[in-house]
Amino acid sequence: MNVKHKFLCITLASALMAAGCSDDSPNSPANCHGKCTDQQVCVEGKCQNKPTPDNCEKCGGTTCLDLSSDAHHCGKCNNSCDETSECVAGRCTPKTTPEDCIRPQIACNGKCTDTSSDNENCGECGHACLIGTHCVNSHCEPILPT
- Checking if the pLDDT of 28 tops 60, the result is no
Contact, 125 vs 106, CB < 8 A? yes
Same domain, 87 and 38: yes
- Is pLDDT larger for residue 85 or for residue 23? 85
> Is pLDDT above 60 for 4?
no
Assess if residue 18 is contained within a domain: no
Of 59, 75, 94, the residue at which a domain comes to its end is 94
84 and 50 part of one domain:
yes
**Residue 21: which region, alpha, beta or left (left: phi > 0; alpha: psi -120 to 50)?**
beta
Q: Is residue 113 part of a domain?
A: yes
pLDDT in tens, 38-61: 777 777 777 777 666 566 778 887
In the chain, % helix, strand, coil (3-state, to 5) comes to 20, 25, 60
Task: Indicate if 62 and 107 belong to the same structural domain.
Answer: no
Which structural domain range is residue 116 located in? 96-146
Distance CA 133, CA 11 (A): 30
What amino acid occupies position 12? L
Residues 48 and 90 in one domain: yes
84 and 28 within one domain: yes
SS3 category, 10: helix
**CA–CA separation, 20 and 37 (whole Å):** 22
96 within 8 A of 103, measured Cβ to Cβ: no
In three-state secondary structure terms, 127 is: coil
Query: What does the mean pLDDT of the chain come to?
Result: 74
The beta-carbon contacts of 131-140 under 8 Å, at least 24 apart in sequence, are 131/37, 131/38
Taking only the tens place, the pLDDT of each residue in 77-115 is 999 999 888 888 888 888 777 778 888 898 887 788 999
Same domain for 85 and 128, yes or no, is no
Asked if 84 and 45 sit in the same domain, the reply is yes
pLDDT above 50 (res 5)? no
Give the count of domains, the chain: 2
- The reply to whether 115 and 69 lie within a common domain is no
